Chain A
């Protein structure tokens, strides 16, 4: 009974919404909104007959490559800058500017510098996603408890060991928040770099459907994008739970007290 109830809570509203959609598209055929059945009909043929390997997987591959580079670079540079007071003050205004710069404007710039190719699309994602990770790493390193720093020093833990066992774990919750931000920016940039002067990829395909007024196909593309976003967010949450298990446990203890 209990599981039934919780399943009910999960599926009730989505079912209601689908019903509403079905009911609202039943009478008058609306040009812009396909019926649920029409969308389901085109979904398979549109994506599973070649497009998934030609457009979707390369897009996702570029996104993951860009994110991996941005996250590792962001953490490494963030550690270097965060642990050095002078360097931090020196770079702060420049970094602030780049954080505030809306990432999509980098697409035309990199188009000039790199040209239209896979390198450009990955570069856009790296240059756009690195800032939240970098700045959050700096912030996380800066806000480490000073007592902990002193303790580490008096035990003679220094260099890589200190980074591995003290700095990274303390900064992890803040770094994770930065990575979460960069995931959604990365997905946006993946789509935009393909919409803006490109001839393949998921973003390009969706725009093609729109231009040729293949409305159900267009919506099915939007659905694919949504599913990718959902998958990314689920994978991230799973990773975050593993990485921050000790932290959430600590919070529970503190809140219970």
Chain B
């Protein structure tokens, strides 16, 4: 059987032969090229005059302003304030929603009893509470916390409820026939099933928490990066404002990466993670 006789189609040939001597460009090089391309476009738009530099300073100027910010104490204090509201709010929401979710999820009666209320309250946008937060707490950190906890609570609760509903029936019955106590059942049967769902909920809630922390700072004026942005905007410090927006985005990226790493670590034993081909 020689290939000359068979004349296989393209797909039958090994990949290397198809691409010839051209090695595929590695992914990170393309990604880097994309970032550089984006910055170049941003640099050129005000230079050519598509948008006035007054409203959109060139990328180089904004990045310089960001590097200057990195040297300022005030900038890091603002980052600290934002992260503190983010962390406390997220933690409080996760603990409350985790416990409530387990309690409600494990009882069919409570599941039906609370369903309508949960479905009704979940879509209420947390920004609707901004005026209430202002009246109750003014510009203190509690305003941010109120919004963050309200929004994240539903995110996590829904995920935990899904997770508890997903517990394998056979496993539950096995645990019962082995005479597991309620606590043992939670520990060895329910919890391992819920954990991936909980982690998904926490990951989603982490970005929601950042959005609301920034929102509270921007609108109410609680201390943090959002407040700095609002001040830069009203003070006409345009490149300073863009630098802060860039910093907020980088903070968001950092939170996403940390959360994904934590998920990988915690769930390394779980089939959903084990089975994934790491791209």
Contact = CB atoms under 8 A, between A and B. Distances in A.
A196 B229 CA distance: 12
A4 interface: no
A17 to B, nearest CB: 7
Given A89-B27, A94-B34, A103-B211, A229 B130 contact: no
B157 interface: no
B218 interface: yes
Contact of A32 (B127, B130, B136, B252): B136
B233 A192 contact: no
B30 A113 contact: no
B214 A113 contact: no
A179 interface: no
A97 interface: yes
Given A14-B117, A187-B125, A222 B229 contact: no
Interface string B119-149: 0101111111111101110000000000000
Contact of B113 (A12, A185, A206, A209): A12
A225 B124 contact: yes
Contacts of B131: 206-207, 209-210, 218, 221-222
Given A9-B112, A10-B116, A226-B123, A206 B128 contact: yes
Contacts of A86: 25, 30
Interface string A32-52: 100000000000000000000
Nearest to A95: B34
B55 A112 contact: yes
Interface in A53-106: 86, 89-94, 96-105
Contacts of B230: 108
A19 interface: no
B242 interface: yes
A104 B214 contact: yes
A126 B224 CA distance: 26
Given A9-B115, A222-B132, A229-B123, A101 B252 contact: yes
A13 interface: yes
Given A9-B116, A112-B238, A229 B207 contact: no
B123 A184 contact: yes
Contact of B125 (A32, A92, A102, A225): A225
B238 A104 contact: no
A117 to B, nearest CB: 15
A144 interface: no
A230 interface: yes
A10 B233 CA distance: 47
A229 B124 contact: yes
A184 B214 CA distance: 16
Chain B CB within 10 Å, residue with most, of A13, A86, A232: A13
B233 A14 contact: no
Given A11-B116, A104-B215, A188-B211, A94 B35 contact: yes
Contacts of A93: 31-32, 34-35
B70 to A, nearest CB: 18
Nearest to A227: B124
Given A210-B131, A222-B132, A102 B120 contact: no
Given A102-B252, A226-B123, A196 B219 contact: yes
A102 B211 contact: yes
A209 B219 CA distance: 16
B114 interface: yes
Contacts of B171: none
Rank and list the top 5 A-B pairs by shortest CB-CB distance, nearest first.
Answer: A100-B252, A210-B131, A89-B30, A229-B123, A101-B249
Given A32-B132, A101-B249, A112-B56, 4 more contacts: A92-B34, A104-B211, A206-B131, A230-B124
Interface of A: 9-14, 17, 32, 86, 89-94, 96-105, 107-109, 111-113, 184-185, 187-188, 191-192, 195-196, 203, 206-207, 209-210, 215, 218, 221-222, 225-226, 229-230, 232-233
5 contacts: A9-B112, A108-B218, A191-B130, A218-B132, A222-B128
